[in-house]
Chain A
Amino acid sequence: MSDATPRMIVLHGRRVVGGSAEGEALVTRQTISGWGGINERDGTIIERRHELRGQSFNGRVLVFPGAKGSSGWSAYFHMARLNGVAPAAMIFTRMTTKVALGAVVTRAPAITALDQDPLSVIETGDWVRVDADRGVVEVTKR
Chain B
Amino acid sequence: MAVNTCQLITGIDNAKWRIQGIPDDLAEQQKRGEAFFGQRGINMHTTCTPYQVGNVPVLGEHCAWMESSAVVYCNSVLGARTNTEGKESTGAAALTGRIPYWGFHLDINRRGTHLVEVAIPVEDIMDWGLLGYWLGEIVQDEIPVLTGALIRPMLIKLKHFGAAASSSGGVEMYHLPGTTPEARSVEEAFAGRPIADTLHFGPSERRRAYENLNCASERKIDFVMLGCPHNSIEQVWLIASLLEGRRLNPDTALWVHTPRALRDTAERNGYVRMIEEAGGVVMSDTCPAISRHLPKGVRTFATDSAKQAHYLPAISGVQAWFGSVRDCVEAAITGTWNGRLQ
Contact = CB atoms under 8 A, between A and B. Distances in A.
Q: What 4 A-B pairs come out closest when comparing CB atoms?
A: A74-B86, A97-B83, A71-B66, A68-B170
14 contacts: A31-B169, A31-B170, A36-B167, A36-B315, A48-B215, A48-B313, A66-B141, A70-B68, A71-B67, A71-B68, A96-B103, A97-B85, A97-B103, A98-B83
Interface string B165-177: 0111110100000
B86 A73 contact: yes
A71 B314 contact: no
Contacts of A101: 85-86, 88-89
Given A36-B289, A49-B212, A71-B71, A97 B313 contact: no
B66 to A, nearest CB: 4
B167 A78 contact: no
B219 to A, nearest CB: 19
Interface residues of B, number: 30
Nearest to A65: B140
Contacts of B87: 71-72, 74-75, 78
A51 to B, nearest CB: 13
Contact of A96 (B170, B215, B313): B170
Contact of A105 (B88, B168, B212, B215): B88
Contacts of A104: 88
A72 B172 CA distance: 14
Contacts, number: 91
Contact of B170 (A48, A67, A78): A67
B17 interface: no
B314 A46 contact: yes
A138 interface: no
Nearest to A73: B86
B170 A69 contact: yes
A104 B100 CA distance: 14
Interface in B160-210: 166-170, 172
Chain B contact residues: over half helix, strand or loop, or mixed? helix
Most chain A beta-carbon contacts within 10 A, residue among B103, B166, B314: B314
Nearest to A71: B66
A34 B138 CA distance: 19
B313 A98 contact: no
A102 interface: yes
B84 interface: yes
Contacts of A36: 167, 289, 310-311, 314-315
B6 to A, nearest CB: 14
Most chain B beta-carbon contacts within 10 A, residue among A48, A66, A73, A75: A48
A48 B86 CA distance: 23
Contacts of A69: 68, 166-167, 169-170
A136 to B, nearest CB: 25
Interface residues of A, number: 29
Contacts of A65: 140
A29 to B, nearest CB: 11
B85 A71 contact: yes
B89 A97 contact: yes
A112 to B, nearest CB: 14
Interface in A48-79: 48-49, 65-75, 78
Given A37-B314, A96-B141, A98-B86, 20 more contacts: A35-B311, A36-B310, A48-B310, A48-B314, A65-B140, A66-B170, A67-B170, A68-B141, A68-B168, A69-B68, A70-B166, A71-B85, A72-B66, A72-B87, A74-B89, A75-B86, A78-B87, A94-B141, A97-B89, A105-B88
Nearest to B83: A97
Nearest to A96: B141
Contacts of B89: 74, 97, 101
A47 B212 CA distance: 12
Nearest to A50: B314
B86 A72 contact: yes
Contacts of A98: 83-84, 86, 170
Interface in B202-242: 212, 215
Interface string B73-105: 000000000011111110000000000100100
Contacts of B103: 96-97
Most chain A beta-carbon contacts within 10 A, residue among B66, B168, B169, B313: B66
